[in-house]
Structure 1
Amino acid sequence: MLKKLFNRPIFYVIISIFFALILFFVSKSTAYNASGTQLRTVTETYSHTIENVPIDIQYDTDKYFISGYSYEAEVYLTSTNRIKLDSEINENTRRFKVVADLTNVKEGTTEAELKVVGLPSEMNATVTPKTVSVTIGKKMTKSFDVKMTIPENQIADGYEVDQIEIANNQVSVTTNESTIGQIDHVEAVLPQDQVLGEDFSGAVTLQAVSSDGTILASVVDPAKTRVNVTLKRLTKEVPINLSITGILSDELSNIDYELSRNTVTITGTKEELAKTDSVRGTVDITGVSKNMSKTVSLSASNVTIMPQTVTVKLTTTKK
């Protein structure tokens, strides 16, 4: 009976319709998915914040001098391409830069817009701040004397500056027209973390300053100079306070004394030197019956005495 069924034309018609329906639904499903109505491609976005990106300010460097602006900005990068993002994060392979175009700006103070240029495709950037305040003035160059003053808090207690030698006694300073008139001199500045407890020799930064010490925006050439600083101990000259102790011999009516020196030099901190008005010494006259000399040690609290001993000449008077 099955054999008869397979031989009938109607069987092949039914089979054809069945496979046609299968092909139809498969094709419809593929088209449905390809349309994106149900299947979605998820694209990941990567981001990174780069701090301290230098600002490239474009202006006529031969004619003008600019000041008063921030030198660095923060850039927030986003990209769907991880490789490109990593390339821009790396300072050595970075293509973008932050610029402020001041080529057509007049003298004075202006708000310059910051833009990110040179950014690769598939990337977006946001810069912070969006603008910077810039002062533009006519460029001027003038020579100034170099001086150096070391603050007391940068000198170890018990020392003072004896001598300062500066390699460059005069340097050139470039700034704008209004600032050049405010410059009093160029200061050689010891690093703030440096406290001198011994002689110093090294390169230090140069800064143009006003008469009250205010640092002024400028370019100093050279930017550094070598200095030699010689220190000396804080000293003070004080008298010797000599005391006589012991028993006067029965053979003598009196003993006079004479010091080989009347004063000595003491060294110490500023505070201890201020408190010390003299040094002490004691000579024992017990057993002295004739003219003689004795060496006496000197003492004082919290200071060093130079010399530490003194000679006392004793002159006797017989009864």
Structure 2
Amino acid sequence: MKKIINSNYFYAFISLCCALWLFFFVSTPGVGSTRDSNQSNTSTVTKKATINAPLQLQADVDKYYITGYPEKVKITIEGPAALVTATKNTQNFNLYLNLRDLSIGQHRVQIKESGLNSELTYSIKPKYVTVNIQKRETKKFTVDVDYNKESLATGYETGTVDVSPQEVTVTGAASEIEKINRVVVKPILPKGIKSTFDQEVLVQALDKNGKTVNVTLDPQTVHVKIPITIQSKQVSINLKQKGNSSGNGYTLESDVKNVRVFGTKDQIDDIDSSIDVPVDLSNVTESTKKTVNLGDALGSKVSFTDPTSISVTISKTNSNTLANTTGNQTSSTSSSDSDSDDSSSSDSSSTNSTNDNNDSE
């Protein structure tokens, strides 16, 4: 055994075995080659992604007004995962319509791309679009204001409407500009509004039939301010009897002497410094108190009052008092008549005396 171990053949055999083991170790994938294998697999994995990309125009947009194309289109790209991810994040490519050599009118045009890596495949949706090319025109229009006055609370009125800016610039195809009948804002006032309306409102270009015209407005909104107010006046009240069917006499009194009335300018202008308030005595048979609703009593003369109602004391007139008053007045009249007769007698005596003296002479 010692001879075999110490012989040169033994060492040669061991060397051969080691060489064969090293050869198979290097040739077979193992732990040392895992990283390289992963990198290789990653570079060969494919990926697909869909991007919403803006659509650009290659045309003389200062001379022509172009419609019919979408602002964005979908492009689906496919290729190496890393490249697809980078392209989706950066979007370093363009989708465009080449309209430079096209005349006025409608055209069906293919959407094209530039800037995509050659290793990527792609598809665009839609592939074609129909565009309308027209001569471009720009014009200024004054903004009208159209709102529903019935939304105002009763008695309230609007003042001078303020629009800022008062003019807008309208750009579009010359044929569309010719269709414009007016440019208007339509503020929506809340029902029963009592205070000033102050908001930004969308501007619309309308034709003679009230339909929207396909143009571009600059600015697209304007500031609208509509003053909403109500007129008022402080007046005294005159209590007036109404519907007294009993034939009795009554006096009317109230602690409230003055009220403030509210209404439109025309309503307030028609009212003097005082206003008659009728008090219904149809069912009154004795002294009492009654609450009178001023709104019902005044009717359409005003919109409302402050206070809205008053308390009226209704006092039945005493008949004895009336009789005594009448008797005193009669007695006074008789006394006056007697004094008048005495005065006449005196005047007569004086006259007779004068006549006697004249005879004596």
Q: TM-score, normalised by structure 1?
A: 0.61
Q: Find out whether 1:69 has 2:87 as its counterpart.
A: no
The whole-number CA distance in structure 1 between the counterparts of 2:12 and 2:68 is 90
Give how far 1:310 is off: 9.2
Query: What is the aligned-residue RMSD (CA, Å)?
Result: 4.8
Is the 2:295–2:305 contact (alpha carbons within 8 Å) kept by the matching residues of 1? no
The whole-number CA distance in structure 2 between the counterparts of 1:20 and 1:311 is 125
Give how far 1:66 is off: 1.0
Which residue of the partner structure matches residue 175 of structure 1?
Answer: 172
Q: Find out whether 1:214 has 2:211 as its counterpart.
A: yes
The secondary structure found in structure 1 opposite 2:16 is: helix
1:115-264 map, 5 Å: 115-119=112-116, 126-150=123-147, 155=151, 163-190=160-187, 195=190, 197=193, 198-231=195-228, 244=243, 247-249=246-248
The whole-number CA distance in structure 1 between the counterparts of 2:74 and 2:18 is 64
The secondary structure found in structure 2 opposite 1:56 is: strand
Which residue of the partner structure matches residue 56 of structure 1?
Answer: 56
The whole-number CA distance in structure 2 between the counterparts of 1:73 and 1:149 is 38
The aligned amino acid for 1:65 is Y
The whole-number CA distance in structure 1 between the counterparts of 2:214 and 2:171 is 9
**Shift in alpha-carbon separation, 1:23–1:87, aligned structure 2, 3 A:** closer
Larger radius of gyration: 2
The whole-number CA distance in structure 1 between the counterparts of 2:219 and 2:117 is 39
**Shift in alpha-carbon separation, 1:145–1:244, aligned structure 2, 3 A:** same
Which residue of the partner structure matches residue 275 of structure 1?
Answer: none
Q: How many residues align?
A: 266
The aligned amino acid for 1:80 is A
Give how far 1:139 is off: 1.0
The whole-number CA distance in structure 2 between the counterparts of 1:232 and 1:71 is 46
The whole-number CA distance in structure 1 between the counterparts of 2:310 and 2:8 is 144
The aligned amino acid for 1:110 is H
Deviations 1:243-285 (A, max 9, x none): 6368542xx6x99xxxxxxxx9889xxxxxxxxxxxx975335
The secondary structure found in structure 2 opposite 1:81 is: helix
Unaligned runs of 5+ in 2: 231-240, 252-260, 265-276, 297-301, 324-361
The whole-number CA distance in structure 2 between the counterparts of 1:49 and 1:28 is 42
The secondary structure found in structure 2 opposite 1:22 is: helix
Deviations 1:6-50 (A, max 9, x none): 2334323433432343344335436xx99xxx9972455566554
Is the 1:81–1:122 contact (alpha carbons within 8 Å) kept by the matching residues of 2? no
The secondary structure found in structure 2 opposite 1:41 is: helix
Give how far 1:295 is off: 9.0
Is the 2:185–2:201 contact (alpha carbons within 8 Å) kept by the matching residues of 1? yes
1:24-63 map, 5 Å: 24-29=23-28, 41-43=41-43, 49-51=50-52, 53-63=53-63
The whole-number CA distance in structure 2 between the counterparts of 1:127 and 1:74 is 6
- 1:283 paired residue among 276, 280, 299: 280
Q: TM-score, normalised by structure 2?
A: 0.55
The aligned amino acid for 1:172 is T
Which residue of the partner structure matches residue 81 of structure 1?
Answer: 82
The aligned amino acid for 1:59 is A
Is the 1:161–1:232 contact (alpha carbons within 8 Å) kept by the matching residues of 2? yes
The whole-number CA distance in structure 2 between the counterparts of 1:23 and 1:310 is 117
Relative to its length, the structure with more helix (as a share) is 2
Which residue of the partner structure matches residue 236 of structure 1?
Answer: none
Is the 1:67–1:217 contact (alpha carbons within 8 Å) kept by the matching residues of 2? no
The whole-number CA distance in structure 1 between the counterparts of 2:123 and 2:186 is 38
The whole-number CA distance in structure 2 between the counterparts of 1:85 and 1:230 is 57
The aligned amino acid for 2:6 is N
The whole-number CA distance in structure 2 between the counterparts of 1:151 and 1:131 is 45
Which residue of the partner structure matches residue 11 of structure 1?
Answer: 10
Unaligned runs of 5+ in 1: 234-241, 256-263, 268-279, 289-293
Relative to its length, the structure with more strand (as a share) is 1
Of 57-66 and 6-15, deviating more is 6-15
